[in-house]
Amino acid sequence: MLRTRHDGVMETGDSAPRLRAVMAMITAACACFVLWPVAQAHAAPLTFSVDSPAGVTEGNPGTAGSIVFTVKLSEAAGNTVTVDVHTSSVTATSSLDFFAVPSTTLTFAPGETEKTVTVQLVGDETDEPDESFTLQLTNATGGATIPPPAFGTGTIIDDDPPPTVSIADASVTEQSNATSLMAFKISLSRASAKTVTVKWATADGTATAPADYTQTNNQITFSPGTVSQNITVQIVGDTVDETDETFTVTLSDPTNATIAAGTATGTIRDDDGPSITITGATVTEGASGTSTVARLTVALGAVSPQDVSVAYATANGSATAPEDYTAIPAGQRLTIPAGQLVGTIDVLVHGDDVDEADENLSVNLTSPQGGNITAATGTVTITDDDPTPSVVAFDTTLLEGTGVANAATVTVGLTTASNRALTATYETRDGTAQAGVDYARQSGSLVFNPGEKTKVVTIPIGADSAIEEDESFSLVVTDTAETGRTAVATIRILDDDLTPAATPNLSISDGTPVREGDSGTTDAEFTVRLDAPLTRHVTVRYATEPGSATSPEDFEATDGVLTFVPGQTVQTVEVPVKGDKRIESNHDFTVKLSEPYNARLAKATGLGIIVDDDAGLDRLAVPGKAIRATSLLCRRSSSKSCAGLLVRWGAVVNGTMRVDVDAYLPAKKTKSTTKTKSKAKSSASKRRLRLMRRTYKVKRGSASRRVRRSGSSAAR
């Protein structure tokens, strides 16, 4: 055995068999290295190829198919091999017929020999030739090559039926002693990618060639994508009044199409008939919810041996459908039979309750047959019958202002909205308020646009600090319509310079006791006073209220309003007291003040006393002792005199009558509290008097008229 030492010297051993094996391996390796280029020189080269698959039907949008290409390597390689592929258009167009495959690398691992590429098609419904595209191979690597042809072809087979071809009827007015052209429209049911042709020829009907038209035979060609074309036939005019005439055009021998409607009728309308005119109409619109017929007349200039017809339709003017009338759409025809001269067209007009200008619409004639239109438009005038709205102006009240100017805003309006523009003029006029002092004079005009109902006029108000009467002036508004109506608004300026400190007090006195008498009336007088004069009016309401006296038995109920003119401080209220002969107690009532204006109430209630002066059946009277005793009470009071004496007669019981003699004395002045004030409202002291009473009994038939005192009561 040979081995190498670390110093590089070969040495032998006893491993001879192992050495022989190693030498054999080295010999074999050398032989392979020498023979490998020779073997390579004789092996087949690696090549790429792609097949052309069978054609695929394109399908419709959403249901299109696909074409699958197979890319092959001539034999398996011991190493990785690649090739690039991409699609290319031929007669098929990318995006329209197929989805393009951009340059893509196919990688063949060792041992692989085939790869597939799928191309998605785009379906359509257009008749067209079969189309194609290719899958190109480029840039082979890994020792492979691409021999010609370096592509595969994909064929898209069209599956769409050819379009159908049709011809439409046509008509034309012949023109007197002149030629004209009648155009017939020939159409394909859909576009085609192929060239389509079809032959056509005229044939006589009631119209004959060459007297009425020129006979023609021809062919029409549709280029790819074209769907309609016109053919024309020459029409020969004349001056004979005759019926309309017809001939036909027939299609034949189509290529790349089939015939659907192959015959069309050409109508030659006679233009030698009478003139056709239409006249307008005028109607009143009526109220809302009603309708009125406007009838227009269509007339011929002469009788015709044939029916004469004309198309008509309505058109909006200032009147609009469907609000103002029912529209007549295009396509309606009026026929005037042979031998007649007149026909009518009716338009339904709708009423409303809106003021507006008169409105109009038109009826237009077109497409005459058997005559010539000389007046094509008839006007329908709708006369408005709704009243013009009246102008109104609204009163307003405002504070004058102290030191700061104010402004009055007056609303001016119409009683109802109008559909037309209305104009009104306005101007201010003095009242107790004067222009230039209390307000700024204003004048001008207002325009109410259609649908508007209100406008505002602003008037500056002058401010001051003087206590004065409330003042007023007016705004006069006049509409400029044919009515010339006028509205007046009053502007009231409230003086706001009266402060609480400057406000005077109102008081009412108690009435002096009144003897009722036996009949008729006697006035009880109450004095109402202001404690200071004022430079403006003061008012207060007064009214009687019953006490022990009632109305209408004892007095006449009275109420009203007292007015103090500037500077006045005293007014009188008179209440009629009724006389009678009844023996009764003295009784009372009150007069109350309320609702003061420009003043405040200091004493709001006055007491009225009715003194009974009737004797009893036995001529009993208050004895002098009783009078003296009661008078003594008056003299002993702090007041200089009594407010009055009242004698109250009671009923007679067992021959004895009770007599109450009362003295009303001025109330003592005491400090009031909230509690005592509350009690005073329900007691006699609210009359500002205090009562002292003595009670006596008088026997019927007493010769000496002596009176026995039975008791007394203290002041209440």
The pLDDT tens digits for 327-368 are 999 999 999 999 999 999 999 999 998 888 899 999 999 999
pLDDT value for 687 = 41
Dist. CA 241–CA 220, nearest whole Å: 35
Q: Which of 143-157, 421-435, 658-672 has the lowest mean pLDDT?
A: 658-672
Question: Could you tell me the end-to-end alpha-carbon distance of the chain, in angstroms, rounded to an integer?
Answer: 165
List Cβ neighbours of 383 (8 Å cut-off, separation of 6 or more).
282, 283, 284, 285, 358
Of 41-45, 241-245, 547-551, 620-624, give the range with the top mean pLDDT: 547-551
pLDDT tier at 413, thresholds 50, 70, 90: confident
Burial class (CB in 10 A: 0-12, 13-18, 19+), 368: buried
Dist. CA 547–CA 526, nearest whole Å: 16
pLDDT value for 545 = 96
Question: What share of the chain in percent tops pLDDT 90?
Answer: 56
The pLDDT tens digits for 134-153 are 999 999 999 999 999 999 99
pLDDT value for 689 = 43
The pLDDT tens digits for 453-504 are 899 999 998 877 777 778 899 999 998 765 678 999 999 988 777 778 889 9
Tell me: pLDDT of 665 over 60: no
pLDDT value for 528 = 96
**Residue (of 644, 640, 634) closest to 611 by Cα position:** 644
Q: Which of 138-142, 332-336, 373-377, 445-449 has the lowest mean pLDDT?
A: 445-449
pLDDT value for 690 = 45
Tell me: pLDDT of 267 over 60: yes
pLDDT value for 362 = 97
Q: Which of 57-61, 346-350, 376-380 has the lowest mean pLDDT?
A: 57-61
Tell me: pLDDT of 716 over 80: no
Chain centroid to Cα 412, Å, comes to 24
Secondary structure (DSSP) of 314-346: EEESSS-TTTTB----TTEEEEE-TT--EEEEE
The pLDDT tens digits for 604-631 are 999 999 988 775 433 334 444 444 444 4
Tell me: pLDDT of 40 over 90: no
Tell me: pLDDT of 408 over 60: yes
pLDDT value for 629 = 41
pLDDT value for 431 = 93
DSSP 161: P
Tell me: pLDDT of 399 over 90: no
pLDDT tier at 426, thresholds 50, 70, 90: very high
Average pLDDT over residues 200-228: 94
Cis peptide before 552 (omega within 30 of 0): yes
pLDDT value for 703 = 33
pLDDT tier at 398, thresholds 50, 70, 90: confident
Dist. CA 637–CA 633, nearest whole Å: 6
The pLDDT tens digits for 570-592 are 999 999 999 988 877 788 999 99
Tell me: pLDDT of 41 over 60: no
Tell me: pLDDT of 127 over 70: yes
Mean pLDDT of the chain: 81
Question: What share of the chain in percent tops pLDDT 70?
Answer: 79
Average pLDDT over residues 653-665: 52
Tell me: pLDDT of 683 over 70: no
Average pLDDT over residues 247-271: 93
Q: Which of 67-76, 406-415, 625-634, 647-656 has the lowest mean pLDDT?
A: 625-634
pLDDT value for 404 = 66
pLDDT tier at 637, thresholds 50, 70, 90: very low
pLDDT value for 642 = 44
DSSP 435: B
pLDDT value for 63 = 87
Dist. CA 295–CA 347, nearest whole Å: 6
pLDDT tier at 319, thresholds 50, 70, 90: very high
pLDDT value for 17 = 43
Average pLDDT over residues 674-687: 43
Q: Which of 71-80, 174-183, 225-234, 638-647 has the lowest mean pLDDT?
A: 638-647
Dist. CA 98–CA 105, nearest whole Å: 20
The pLDDT tens digits for 236-250 are 988 887 788 999 999
Tell me: pLDDT of 3 over 90: no
Burial class (CB in 10 A: 0-12, 13-18, 19+), 673: exposed
pLDDT tier at 662, thresholds 50, 70, 90: low
pLDDT tier at 693, thresholds 50, 70, 90: low
Phi and psi torsions of 552, nearest 5°: -95, 10
Buried b (16+ CB within 10 A) or exposed e, 195-220: ebebebebeebebebeebbeeeeeeb
Q: Which of 51-55, 335-339, 545-549, 622-626 has the lowest mean pLDDT?
A: 622-626
Average pLDDT over residues 635-664: 47
pLDDT value for 593 = 96
pLDDT value for 355 = 84
